[in-house]
Structure 1
Amino acid sequence: MKWTEGIDKLGIFIYLAISLFAIANIYSVDEGLGKKQLMFFCISLVVGILIFFMRTKFFENFASIMYVAGVLLLVGLFPFGTEILGQKNWYRFGGFTMQPVEFAKIGTALMLANYVSGPNFNLQIRKSLWTSFAIIGVPAIAVLAIPDVGSLLVFTAFFIALFREGLSGWYFGIAGIFALVFLVALAIDPTYVIIGLAAIYGLFILFNFFKIHWHIMKVITIFGSFLLLCGLAFSAPKILEKLPKHQRERIEVLYKGEKAFRDTSGYNLLYSKTAIGSGGFFGKGYKEGSVTQGKFVPEQETDYIFCTVGEEWGFFGASMLVIFYAVFIGRIYYLSERQKSAFNRVFGYCFASILFMHFIINLGMVMGLFPTVGIPLPFFSYGGSSFLAFSLMTFIFFKLNYADRNSLV
């Protein structure tokens, strides 16, 4: 039919396949939660149909309002939020809860897309650069103050969209170096890290002494960065000591192994790995997983839902799910590149990058490659806020893509 031209059928199919498979797995863990997730799925479909009939310009025109609303919802958590699992990042309405950070991501993506697509935007101009950083930074600071470290990490996804629009790769390189120094300083004595940094800087100066046109700013930059990295290395263990016990142990699990914390922060990871490993190639079968059915893994319907897939569906089922996610995220990036509108392209990159960060962090967390930070698997982990927010971004992007494909411009 003519009206269906421009609808990305592959993307919609993968969204439906992942969502329905998720409902089946949540139902396997908890039948009541599975039925509630099915309800969230039906609500999302109704909202998706409504979005399909909305004017495309609505999202550009109201981007700033959605952004401000998202930030206000985050700020409102401090006086009105409900604390769950040690974090005050929920609103409670009777028997329902809402996590505003999920919707703040949508507002930030729309606002960033709206600003970047403006006629005067140019990342080579300092005003554009710092305004873009401020759009991301305002909600990110609110998230940090909650504190919600996992969601804060997801906000770095917006820099991928800025990189597509011309942000220098140096920013990623510098951030990577600081992160590497911090992590290494947690694993070994900071004194050795500082000695290593001194050796690297010394060799750099030695081999480039006559190649670089030295002036005061370059000298300050080189020695200033060296001192900053040394300070970071020295303070890394002290920062770790200041963290709450459960957060500190979650990081130490990466270095000492989950067995060293098998009765505390390593418990989830230990049984998660056990569940995934026991699934073999084809799994034990639906509702036949002894670890997941025995409720040995806490939060196995939310953050650790992937271990249910690994045990019941095995390596084959888990691999197929990973492939579906990879194709879906790749599809969003591909369609974003084809957009004629800069607003559509930037929003698509924000959406795909948020999906990518959630996906990588959640799987890394479940397999012990990343600390437990409470990041849901998109469309898959139980939760109305998360599922509805990801569905909203999905339908908004596919609506933008539909309008772009049918545009005469």
Structure 2
Amino acid sequence: MKWTEGVDKLGLGLYFLLCIFAIANIYSVEPASGTRQAVWFGVSVFVGIIIFLTRNKFFENMAGIIYIAGLLLLVGLFPFGTEILGQKNWYKFGPVSLQPVEFAKLGTALMLANYVSGPDFNLKNRKSILMTLAIIGLPAVLVLLIPDVGSLLVFVAFSIALYREGLSGKLFGIVGLFAVVFLVALYLHYNDIGLFYEAIVIGVVFAVIIFINFHKISWNYISIGSYAGSLVLLLGLVFASPYILEKLPKHQKERIGVLYLGEKMFKDTSGYNLLYSKTAIGSGGFLGKGYREGSVTQGKFVPEQSTDYIFCTVGEEWGFLGSAALVFCYMLYIGRIYYLAEKQKSAFSRVFGYCFASILLMHFSINLGMVMGLFPTVGIPLPYFSYGGSSLLAFSTMTFIFFKLNYSDKNSLV
């Protein structure tokens, strides 16, 4: 049919596959939640149809308004929000709950795409850099104040879109180096190994880096000062890491402790979820126990097993084969969005596509890492799959906006 030309059938097909499989898994452990998720899916599809009927430039023109609305919803949480599981990040309207941070991600992606695609944007210009940081930083600070650490990490995903638009890859290396140093310092702290030894190792590694790049370095006062300053900052981070850890709330310290000492050390507190999550996934074997036959998940041993820990249900009921198939579908889907984003004629569509794919990638990576014990437990859903109307509606809205932009791009004569 002519009207379907330009619709990415593979991408939308994977979206529907993920959503329907998700509803089945949620229904398996909580039938009432599965039914509600099916209703939210119907609402999401209806919103998607409306999106496809909008004008081509609608979201580009409305980006600023949607962004400001997202900020106002976050600000409104402080006086009017409802606290759930220690986080005041929900609005409750009778039986319906709304998590505005999910829509703030959408607004930030649209606003960033709008600004980056503008004629005045240049990452070599200080004004552009400051404006870009402000667009990402305003909602990120509000999310930090809630506090919602999981969602805060997702805002880092926008740097991938900026990298595509010319952001220096050296910044990723610098941030990565500091992150590794901090994590290693925490490991030494938890295992009672003197931080002095890490300081020595850092000094040696730093010396090797300088030696390798010796001929590339401009040996002037500015260059020497920057290298010396970096070394001081790294060493300072090493010795400051235990004090930073002590300032965290008890439950966050325990979650980090689970990562380094194992879930059995905290089996009655922060390690409980992970312990039974691993048990459920491991008990599924290669082919799984069968739909609604998982003893761990059906026994309700895993808290949040229909939301943040939904992947353990897949592991137990569908086994390694089903889990691998789900991971493959996600990788194919995210890769498809990156591919389509790169093919866009419009800079706005390209940047939004990269933002959207990067948000999905961050959610997917952190959620699976959390469920398998590779990342500390944070409240972050698996896109389309975790139970939650706000999450499904927000991700679906981003989905249909991108595929609408892609549809318009394919039918454009320019």
Distance 2:38 2:299 in 1: 23
Match of residue 349, structure 1, among 351, 354, 365: 354
Alignment partner, residue 256 of structure 1: 261
SS at match of 1:298: coil
Q: Which letter does structure 2 place at the counterpart of 1:349?
A: Y
Q: TM-score, normalised by structure 1?
A: 0.98
Distance 1:147 1:242 in 2: 14
Percent of residue pairs identical = 71
Alignment partner, residue 247 of structure 1: 252
Distance 1:207 1:172 in 2: 19
Q: Are 2:368 and 1:381 aligned? A: no
- Cα 1:404/1:213, change in 2 over 3 Å: closer
Gap regions ≥5 residues in structure 1: none
Q: Which letter does structure 2 place at the counterpart of 1:386?
A: S
Distance 1:275 1:211 in 2: 53
Deviation for aligned residue 1:202: 3.7
- Could you report, residue by residue, the CA deviation over 1:129-181 in whole angstroms, capped at 9, with x for unpaired residues? 22112111111111111111100111011000000000000111111011001
Distance 1:206 1:348 in 2: 40
- Could you report, residue by residue, the CA deviation over 1:54-78 in whole angstroms, capped at 9, with x for unpaired residues? 0121101110111111111111111
How many residue pairs are counted as aligned between the two chains? 409
Deviation for aligned residue 1:215: 1.6
Alignment partner, residue 42 of structure 1: 42
- Cα 1:208/1:351, change in 2 over 3 Å: closer
Deviation for aligned residue 1:31: 0.6
Alignment partner, residue 20 of structure 1: 20
- Cα 1:53/1:204, change in 2 over 3 Å: closer
Distance 2:385 2:213 in 1: 52
Deviation for aligned residue 1:203: 4.2
- Cα 1:206/1:310, change in 2 over 3 Å: closer
Pairing 1:261-272 to 2, within 5 Å after superposition: 261-272=266-277
Alignment partner, residue 297 of structure 1: 302
- Cα 1:209/1:339, change in 2 over 3 Å: closer
Deviation for aligned residue 1:314: 0.5
Deviation for aligned residue 1:226: 0.9
Alignment partner, residue 182 of structure 1: 182
Alignment partner, residue 149 of structure 1: 149
SS at match of 1:62: helix
- Cα 1:13/1:202, change in 2 over 3 Å: closer
- Could you report, residue by residue, the CA deviation over 1:225-262 in whole angstroms, capped at 9, with x for unpaired residues? 11111111111111111111111110111110001111
Distance 1:348 1:211 in 2: 36
Q: Are 2:341 and 1:328 aligned? A: no
SS at match of 2:111: helix
Alignment partner, residue 173 of structure 1: 173
- Could you report, residue by residue, the CA deviation over 1:27-70 in whole angstroms, capped at 9, with x for unpaired residues? 00111000000000000011000001001211011101111111
SS at match of 1:247: helix
Deviation for aligned residue 1:344: 0.2
Q: Which letter does structure 2 place at the counterpart of 1:398?
A: F
Alignment partner, residue 360 of structure 1: 365
- Cα 1:408/1:258, change in 2 over 3 Å: same
Q: Which letter does structure 2 place at the counterpart of 1:9?
A: K
Match of residue 279, structure 1, among 276, 284, 291: 284
Q: Are 2:205 and 1:200 aligned? A: yes
Alignment partner, residue 64 of structure 1: 64
Distance 1:212 1:26 in 2: 56
Gap regions ≥5 residues in structure 2: 189-193
Deviation for aligned residue 1:198: 2.0
Distance 2:3 2:107 in 1: 29
Pairing 1:64-213 to 2, within 5 Å after superposition: 64-188=64-188, 189-205=194-210, 212-213=217-218
Q: Are 2:354 and 1:313 aligned? A: no
Distance 2:218 2:278 in 1: 54
- Cα 1:206/1:378, change in 2 over 3 Å: closer
Distance 1:337 1:345 in 2: 6
Q: Contact (CA 8 Å) 2:217, 2:223: kept in 1 or not?
A: no
- Could you report, residue by residue, the CA deviation over 1:2-48 in whole angstroms, capped at 9, with x for unpaired residues? 00100111111111111000000000011100000000000001100
Tell me which moved more, 216-225 or 173-182. Answer: 216-225
Q: Which letter does structure 1 place at the counterpart of 2:413?
A: L
Distance 1:39 1:211 in 2: 60
- Could you report, residue by residue, the CA deviation over 1:102-124 in whole angstroms, capped at 9, with x for unpaired residues? 00000000000000110111112
Q: Which letter does structure 1 place at the counterpart of 2:136?
A: I
Q: Contact (CA 8 Å) 2:383, 2:391: kept in 1 or not?
A: yes
SS at match of 1:50: helix
SS at match of 2:106: helix
Deviation for aligned residue 1:275: 0.3
SS at match of 2:273: helix
